[in-house]
Structure 1
Protein backbone atom coordinates (compact mmCIF):
# COMPACT_ATOMS: atom_id res chain seq x y z
CA UNK A 1 0.00 0.00 0.00
CA UNK A 2 1.10 3.52 -0.74
CA UNK A 3 2.48 5.55 2.13
CA UNK A 4 0.44 8.53 0.83
CA UNK A 5 -2.80 6.56 1.13
CA UNK A 6 -1.91 5.49 4.67
CA UNK A 7 -1.17 9.13 5.53
CA UNK A 8 -4.51 10.24 4.06
CA UNK A 9 -6.37 7.56 6.05
CA UNK A 10 -4.56 8.63 9.24
CA UNK A 11 -5.41 12.31 8.59
CA UNK A 12 -9.09 11.45 8.03
CA UNK A 13 -9.19 9.43 11.24
CA UNK A 14 -7.56 12.29 13.16
CA UNK A 15 -9.81 15.04 11.76
CA UNK A 16 -13.18 13.25 11.56
CA UNK A 17 -12.80 10.98 14.59
CA UNK A 18 -16.14 9.50 15.72
CA UNK A 19 -17.96 10.83 12.68
CA UNK A 20 -16.42 7.93 10.73
CA UNK A 21 -17.96 4.46 10.54
CA UNK A 22 -15.06 2.98 8.58
CA UNK A 23 -11.99 3.83 6.50
CA UNK A 24 -10.86 1.40 3.84
CA UNK A 25 -7.90 1.38 1.47
CA UNK A 26 -8.54 -0.81 -1.58
CA UNK A 27 -7.52 -0.66 -5.23
CA UNK A 28 -5.29 2.37 -4.54
CA UNK A 29 -8.23 4.40 -3.24
CA UNK A 30 -9.36 5.52 0.19
CA UNK A 31 -13.06 5.18 1.01
CA UNK A 32 -14.55 6.64 4.17
CA UNK A 33 -18.08 5.89 5.37
CA UNK A 34 -19.45 8.69 7.54
CA UNK A 35 -22.50 8.75 9.80
CA UNK A 36 -25.59 10.32 8.23
CA UNK A 37 -26.06 12.65 11.25
CA UNK A 38 -22.57 14.12 10.77
CA UNK A 39 -22.40 14.07 6.95
CA UNK A 40 -22.62 17.86 6.51
CA UNK A 41 -20.22 18.56 9.38
CA UNK A 42 -17.79 15.97 7.97
CA UNK A 43 -17.95 17.63 4.55
CA UNK A 44 -17.01 20.98 6.09
CA UNK A 45 -14.04 19.43 7.90
CA UNK A 46 -12.91 17.60 4.77
CA UNK A 47 -12.89 20.90 2.90
CA UNK A 48 -11.57 23.28 5.57
CA UNK A 49 -9.07 21.32 7.66
CA UNK A 50 -5.54 21.93 6.29
CA UNK A 51 -4.59 18.28 6.90
CA UNK A 52 -7.17 17.28 4.27
CA UNK A 53 -8.05 20.37 2.14
CA UNK A 54 -10.51 18.74 -0.27
CA UNK A 55 -11.37 21.88 -2.19
CA UNK A 56 -13.22 20.21 -5.02
CA UNK A 57 -16.15 17.82 -5.34
CA UNK A 58 -15.70 15.89 -8.59
CA UNK A 59 -18.77 13.68 -8.55
CA UNK A 60 -21.74 12.64 -6.43
CA UNK A 61 -24.23 9.86 -7.11
CA UNK A 62 -26.98 7.86 -5.47
CA UNK A 63 -26.85 4.08 -5.04
CA UNK A 64 -29.61 1.52 -4.45
CA UNK A 65 -28.26 -1.51 -2.57
CA UNK A 66 -31.42 -3.61 -2.83
CA UNK A 67 -30.33 -7.14 -3.81
CA UNK A 68 -26.67 -6.05 -3.69
CA UNK A 69 -24.28 -9.03 -3.68
CA UNK A 70 -27.18 -11.33 -4.53
CA UNK A 71 -29.16 -10.24 -1.47
CA UNK A 72 -26.32 -10.67 1.03
CA UNK A 73 -26.15 -6.93 1.79
CA UNK A 74 -27.74 -6.38 5.19
CA UNK A 75 -27.22 -2.63 5.58
CA UNK A 76 -29.33 0.34 4.58
CA UNK A 77 -30.77 0.39 1.06
CA UNK A 78 -29.89 3.88 -0.21
CA UNK A 79 -26.50 5.53 -0.15
CA UNK A 80 -24.78 8.60 -1.53
CA UNK A 81 -21.20 8.48 -2.79
CA UNK A 82 -19.11 11.63 -3.30
CA UNK A 83 -15.65 11.83 -4.90
CA UNK A 84 -13.39 14.60 -3.65
CA UNK A 85 -10.09 16.06 -4.85
CA UNK A 86 -7.45 17.92 -2.87
CA UNK A 87 -5.36 20.07 -5.17
CA UNK A 88 -3.14 21.16 -2.28
CA UNK A 89 -2.17 17.57 -1.36
CA UNK A 90 -2.82 15.91 -4.74
CA UNK A 91 -5.02 13.13 -3.35
CA UNK A 92 -8.53 11.82 -3.90
CA UNK A 93 -11.17 10.45 -1.56
CA UNK A 94 -14.45 8.58 -1.84
CA UNK A 95 -17.00 9.58 0.83
CA UNK A 96 -19.95 7.30 1.42
CA UNK A 97 -23.07 7.92 3.52
CA UNK A 98 -26.19 5.77 3.96
CA UNK A 99 -29.68 7.23 4.36
CA UNK A 100 -30.99 6.05 7.76
CA UNK A 101 -34.59 5.36 6.58
CA UNK A 102 -35.11 3.08 3.56
CA UNK A 103 -38.74 4.14 3.08
CA UNK A 104 -37.92 7.87 3.15
CA UNK A 105 -34.22 8.30 2.25
CA UNK A 106 -32.86 11.66 3.41
CA UNK A 107 -29.30 12.92 3.85
CA UNK A 108 -27.97 16.45 4.28
CA UNK A 109 -27.21 18.52 1.20
CA UNK A 110 -23.54 19.38 0.74
CA UNK A 111 -24.29 22.01 -1.91
CA UNK A 112 -23.43 24.81 0.58
CA UNK A 113 -20.00 23.17 1.02
CA UNK A 114 -19.28 22.44 -2.66
CA UNK A 115 -21.68 24.18 -5.03
CA UNK A 116 -20.83 21.63 -7.74
CA UNK A 117 -23.00 19.15 -5.78
CA UNK A 118 -26.14 21.03 -6.88
CA UNK A 119 -27.04 19.18 -10.08
CA UNK A 120 -25.56 15.89 -8.84
CA UNK A 121 -27.94 15.95 -5.86
CA UNK A 122 -30.85 16.81 -8.14
CA UNK A 123 -29.93 13.83 -10.31
CA UNK A 124 -29.76 11.47 -7.28
CA UNK A 125 -33.17 12.78 -6.17
CA UNK A 126 -34.68 12.34 -9.63
CA UNK A 127 -33.31 8.86 -10.35
CA UNK A 128 -33.26 7.31 -6.84
CA UNK A 129 -35.69 9.41 -4.79
CA UNK A 130 -33.00 10.39 -2.27
CA UNK A 131 -33.91 13.70 -0.61
CA UNK A 132 -31.20 16.22 0.29
CA UNK A 133 -32.11 18.25 3.35
CA UNK A 134 -31.10 21.88 2.87
CA UNK A 135 -30.95 21.82 -0.94
CA UNK A 136 -32.64 25.02 -2.08
CA UNK A 137 -33.84 23.80 -5.51
CA UNK A 138 -34.46 20.05 -5.28
CA UNK A 139 -36.51 19.16 -8.35
CA UNK A 140 -36.28 16.71 -11.21
CA UNK A 141 -33.45 17.26 -13.65
CA UNK A 142 -33.58 14.39 -16.19
CA UNK A 143 -37.15 13.08 -16.18
CA UNK A 144 -40.37 14.97 -16.86
CA UNK A 145 -41.97 16.80 -13.92
CA UNK A 146 -45.01 14.53 -14.21
CA UNK A 147 -42.88 11.37 -14.16
CA UNK A 148 -44.04 8.78 -11.64
CA UNK A 149 -41.38 7.02 -9.56
CA UNK A 150 -37.59 6.98 -9.68
CA UNK A 151 -36.22 4.96 -12.63
CA UNK A 152 -32.86 3.84 -11.16
CA UNK A 153 -34.42 2.13 -8.16
CA UNK A 154 -34.04 -1.63 -8.39
CA UNK A 155 -37.78 -2.16 -7.91
CA UNK A 156 -38.80 0.24 -10.72
CA UNK A 157 -40.59 -1.67 -13.53
CA UNK A 158 -38.49 -1.98 -16.69
CA UNK A 159 -41.36 -0.79 -18.89
CA UNK A 160 -42.15 2.11 -16.53
CA UNK A 161 -45.47 3.10 -14.99
CA UNK A 162 -46.88 5.29 -17.76
CA UNK A 163 -45.88 6.34 -21.25
CA UNK A 164 -46.33 9.67 -22.94
CA UNK A 165 -47.10 10.51 -26.52
CA UNK A 166 -48.11 13.51 -28.55
CA UNK A 167 -51.84 13.58 -29.28
CA UNK A 168 -52.45 15.41 -32.60
CA UNK A 169 -56.14 15.99 -31.82
CA UNK A 170 -55.48 17.53 -28.41
CA UNK A 171 -52.27 19.14 -29.71
CA UNK A 172 -50.36 18.27 -26.54
CA UNK A 173 -48.44 15.51 -24.83
CA UNK A 174 -50.63 13.03 -22.94
CA UNK A 175 -49.87 10.30 -20.42
CA UNK A 176 -51.41 6.88 -20.87
CA UNK A 177 -51.00 3.37 -19.42
CA UNK A 178 -48.02 1.43 -20.70
CA UNK A 179 -48.81 -0.40 -23.95
CA UNK A 180 -45.57 -2.40 -24.14
CA UNK A 181 -46.10 -6.09 -23.45
CA UNK A 182 -43.55 -7.39 -20.92
CA UNK A 183 -41.36 -10.08 -22.47
CA UNK A 184 -38.14 -11.85 -21.86
CA UNK A 185 -35.49 -11.52 -24.52
CA UNK A 186 -33.02 -14.38 -24.72
CA UNK A 187 -29.96 -13.61 -26.82
CA UNK A 188 -29.11 -15.94 -29.66
CA UNK A 189 -25.99 -17.95 -29.00
CA UNK A 190 -23.46 -17.90 -31.80
CA UNK A 191 -20.91 -20.65 -31.58
CA UNK A 192 -17.44 -19.96 -32.87
CA UNK A 193 -17.58 -22.84 -35.33
CA UNK A 194 -20.72 -21.34 -36.95
CA UNK A 195 -19.13 -18.19 -38.31
CA UNK A 196 -15.95 -17.37 -40.09
CA UNK A 197 -15.80 -20.68 -41.95
CA UNK A 198 -13.22 -23.32 -41.22
CA UNK A 199 -9.99 -22.39 -39.52
Structure 2
Protein backbone atom coordinates (compact mmCIF):
# COMPACT_ATOMS: atom_id res chain seq x y z
CA UNK A 1 0.00 0.00 0.00
CA UNK A 2 1.51 3.32 -1.06
CA UNK A 3 0.82 6.49 0.87
CA UNK A 4 0.32 9.90 -0.74
CA UNK A 5 -0.11 13.14 1.19
CA UNK A 6 -2.54 15.66 -0.26
CA UNK A 7 -1.98 19.16 1.11
CA UNK A 8 -5.20 21.15 0.83
CA UNK A 9 -4.92 24.92 1.18
CA UNK A 10 -8.38 26.30 1.89
CA UNK A 11 -10.70 28.57 3.87
CA UNK A 12 -13.85 27.52 5.74
CA UNK A 13 -15.99 30.22 4.09
CA UNK A 14 -14.87 29.18 0.58
CA UNK A 15 -17.74 27.20 -1.00
CA UNK A 16 -15.60 25.65 -3.71
CA UNK A 17 -13.25 24.37 -0.97
CA UNK A 18 -15.89 22.05 0.48
CA UNK A 19 -16.90 21.03 -3.07
CA UNK A 20 -13.21 20.32 -3.76
CA UNK A 21 -12.89 18.30 -0.56
CA UNK A 22 -15.97 16.21 -1.40
CA UNK A 23 -14.62 15.60 -4.92
CA UNK A 24 -11.29 14.53 -3.40
CA UNK A 25 -13.21 11.98 -1.31
CA UNK A 26 -14.86 10.67 -4.49
CA UNK A 27 -11.41 10.42 -6.11
CA UNK A 28 -10.00 8.47 -3.15
CA UNK A 29 -12.77 5.85 -3.50
CA UNK A 30 -11.51 5.00 -6.99
CA UNK A 31 -7.87 4.39 -5.99
CA UNK A 32 -6.33 0.94 -5.63
CA UNK A 33 -3.52 0.32 -3.15
CA UNK A 34 -2.98 4.02 -2.44
CA UNK A 35 -3.68 5.45 0.98
CA UNK A 36 -4.30 9.20 1.04
CA UNK A 37 -3.42 11.41 3.98
CA UNK A 38 -5.08 14.84 3.80
CA UNK A 39 -3.38 17.76 5.51
CA UNK A 40 -5.20 21.10 5.76
CA UNK A 41 -3.44 24.44 5.54
CA UNK A 42 -4.85 27.92 6.27
CA UNK A 43 -5.73 30.59 3.75
CA UNK A 44 -7.92 33.61 4.46
CA UNK A 45 -10.04 34.76 1.55
CA UNK A 46 -10.62 38.04 3.38
CA UNK A 47 -7.92 38.69 5.99
CA UNK A 48 -9.18 42.27 6.43
CA UNK A 49 -12.82 41.30 6.94
CA UNK A 50 -14.17 43.24 9.95
CA UNK A 51 -15.30 41.34 13.05
CA UNK A 52 -18.99 41.87 12.24
CA UNK A 53 -18.57 40.48 8.71
CA UNK A 54 -20.44 41.71 5.63
CA UNK A 55 -23.58 40.71 3.74
CA UNK A 56 -22.43 37.84 1.52
CA UNK A 57 -24.14 38.92 -1.70
CA UNK A 58 -22.92 42.52 -1.31
CA UNK A 59 -19.42 41.26 -0.58
CA UNK A 60 -19.27 38.96 -3.62
CA UNK A 61 -20.66 41.62 -5.97
CA UNK A 62 -18.18 44.17 -4.62
CA UNK A 63 -15.13 41.90 -4.57
CA UNK A 64 -15.60 40.24 -7.95
CA UNK A 65 -17.42 43.04 -9.77
CA UNK A 66 -20.40 40.88 -10.69
CA UNK A 67 -24.11 41.67 -10.97
CA UNK A 68 -26.81 40.51 -8.58
CA UNK A 69 -28.05 38.05 -11.23
CA UNK A 70 -24.57 36.57 -11.64
CA UNK A 71 -24.40 36.19 -7.85
CA UNK A 72 -27.75 34.36 -7.86
CA UNK A 73 -26.55 32.10 -10.71
CA UNK A 74 -23.30 31.32 -8.86
CA UNK A 75 -25.24 30.30 -5.75
CA UNK A 76 -27.51 28.05 -7.82
CA UNK A 77 -24.44 26.35 -9.35
CA UNK A 78 -22.97 25.78 -5.89
CA UNK A 79 -26.20 24.37 -4.47
CA UNK A 80 -26.34 21.95 -7.42
CA UNK A 81 -22.67 20.93 -7.04
CA UNK A 82 -23.20 20.41 -3.30
CA UNK A 83 -26.32 18.30 -3.80
CA UNK A 84 -24.46 16.03 -6.23
CA UNK A 85 -21.85 15.42 -3.51
CA UNK A 86 -24.18 15.16 -0.51
CA UNK A 87 -23.43 18.59 0.96
CA UNK A 88 -26.14 21.17 1.67
CA UNK A 89 -25.55 24.86 0.92
CA UNK A 90 -28.29 26.92 2.56
CA UNK A 91 -27.78 30.46 1.31
CA UNK A 92 -30.18 33.20 2.38
CA UNK A 93 -30.36 36.95 1.76
CA UNK A 94 -28.94 37.38 5.26
CA UNK A 95 -25.91 35.10 4.72
CA UNK A 96 -22.72 36.89 5.77
CA UNK A 97 -19.09 36.66 4.77
CA UNK A 98 -17.11 36.27 7.98
CA UNK A 99 -13.61 36.72 9.31
CA UNK A 100 -12.00 33.27 9.64
CA UNK A 101 -8.78 33.95 11.56
CA UNK A 102 -10.18 32.47 14.81
CA UNK A 103 -11.52 29.44 12.91
CA UNK A 104 -8.04 28.75 11.51
CA UNK A 105 -6.55 28.96 15.01
CA UNK A 106 -9.14 26.40 16.13
CA UNK A 107 -8.21 24.05 13.26
CA UNK A 108 -4.54 24.42 14.31
CA UNK A 109 -5.46 23.33 17.85
CA UNK A 110 -7.59 20.44 16.54
CA UNK A 111 -4.67 19.23 14.37
CA UNK A 112 -2.57 18.85 17.52
CA UNK A 113 -5.25 16.50 18.89
CA UNK A 114 -5.63 14.51 15.66
CA UNK A 115 -9.04 16.07 14.97
CA UNK A 116 -8.19 18.46 12.15
CA UNK A 117 -10.41 16.86 9.50
CA UNK A 118 -13.41 16.61 11.86
CA UNK A 119 -12.95 20.26 12.82
CA UNK A 120 -12.65 21.46 9.24
CA UNK A 121 -15.79 19.60 8.18
CA UNK A 122 -17.71 20.81 11.24
CA UNK A 123 -16.81 24.41 10.38
CA UNK A 124 -17.87 24.00 6.74
CA UNK A 125 -21.22 22.58 7.87
CA UNK A 126 -21.70 25.23 10.58
CA UNK A 127 -21.12 28.03 8.08
CA UNK A 128 -22.72 26.80 4.87
CA UNK A 129 -25.46 24.44 6.08
CA UNK A 130 -26.41 25.83 9.50
CA UNK A 131 -25.75 29.54 8.81
CA UNK A 132 -23.68 29.99 11.98
CA UNK A 133 -21.16 32.74 12.67
CA UNK A 134 -17.79 30.96 12.59
CA UNK A 135 -16.13 34.10 13.96
CA UNK A 136 -18.19 33.94 17.17
CA UNK A 137 -16.20 32.50 20.06
CA UNK A 138 -19.25 30.81 21.64
CA UNK A 139 -20.11 29.13 18.34
CA UNK A 140 -16.51 27.92 17.94
CA UNK A 141 -16.43 26.52 21.49
CA UNK A 142 -19.72 24.69 20.81
CA UNK A 143 -18.39 23.19 17.54
CA UNK A 144 -15.13 22.15 19.21
CA UNK A 145 -16.97 20.62 22.14
CA UNK A 146 -19.13 18.53 19.78
CA UNK A 147 -16.06 16.83 18.24
CA UNK A 148 -14.44 16.10 21.59
CA UNK A 149 -12.18 19.08 22.28
CA UNK A 150 -12.11 20.70 25.70
CA UNK A 151 -14.33 23.81 25.58
CA UNK A 152 -12.34 25.54 28.33
CA UNK A 153 -9.07 25.04 26.48
CA UNK A 154 -10.60 26.28 23.22
CA UNK A 155 -11.87 29.45 24.90
CA UNK A 156 -8.44 30.09 26.42
CA UNK A 157 -6.62 29.48 23.11
CA UNK A 158 -8.92 31.89 21.25
CA UNK A 159 -8.81 34.58 23.92
CA UNK A 160 -5.04 34.64 24.27
CA UNK A 161 -4.30 34.05 20.57
CA UNK A 162 -1.99 31.16 21.44
CA UNK A 163 -1.79 29.94 17.83
CA UNK A 164 -2.30 33.29 16.06
CA UNK A 165 1.36 33.63 15.13
CA UNK A 166 1.64 29.99 14.00
CA UNK A 167 -1.36 30.43 11.67
CA UNK A 168 0.02 33.68 10.23
CA UNK A 169 3.37 32.00 9.56
CA UNK A 170 1.78 29.03 7.84
CA UNK A 171 -0.42 31.29 5.70
CA UNK A 172 2.72 33.18 4.67
CA UNK A 173 4.54 29.97 3.68
CA UNK A 174 1.82 28.91 1.24
CA UNK A 175 1.49 32.40 -0.22
CA UNK A 176 5.27 32.50 -0.75
CA UNK A 177 4.87 29.25 -2.68
CA UNK A 178 2.63 31.13 -5.07
CA UNK A 179 -0.81 30.07 -3.86
CA UNK A 180 -3.22 32.93 -4.42
CA UNK A 181 -6.58 31.19 -4.66
CA UNK A 182 -8.35 28.32 -2.95
CA UNK A 183 -8.88 25.47 -2.96
CA UNK A 184 -5.39 24.50 -4.06
CA UNK A 185 -4.29 20.88 -3.75
CA UNK A 186 -0.58 20.20 -3.53
CA UNK A 187 -0.01 16.57 -4.52
CA UNK A 188 3.57 15.40 -4.85
CA UNK A 189 5.31 18.32 -6.52
CA UNK A 190 2.20 19.53 -8.34
CA UNK A 191 -0.08 22.39 -7.31
CA UNK A 192 -3.64 21.97 -8.62
CA UNK A 193 -5.92 24.99 -8.26
CA UNK A 194 -9.70 24.82 -8.10
CA UNK A 195 -12.36 22.25 -7.20
CA UNK A 196 -11.21 19.73 -9.80
CA UNK A 197 -13.27 16.74 -10.90
CA UNK A 198 -12.61 13.45 -9.03
CA UNK A 199 -10.96 11.81 -12.07
CA UNK A 200 -8.46 14.67 -12.35
CA UNK A 201 -7.54 14.48 -8.66
CA UNK A 202 -7.26 10.68 -8.84
CA UNK A 203 -4.85 10.99 -11.79
CA UNK A 204 -2.59 13.42 -9.89
CA UNK A 205 -2.59 11.17 -6.81
CA UNK A 206 -1.75 8.10 -8.91
CA UNK A 207 1.05 10.01 -10.62
CA UNK A 208 2.47 11.11 -7.26
CA UNK A 209 2.38 7.50 -6.03
CA UNK A 210 4.33 6.23 -9.05
CA UNK A 211 6.96 8.97 -8.66
CA UNK A 212 7.75 8.10 -5.04
Band the TM-score falls in, shorter-chain normalisation: under 0.3
Taking structure 2 as the reference length, what is the TM-score of the superposition?
0.23
Per residue, is there more helix in 1 or in 2? 2
Per residue, is there more strand in 1 or in 2? 1
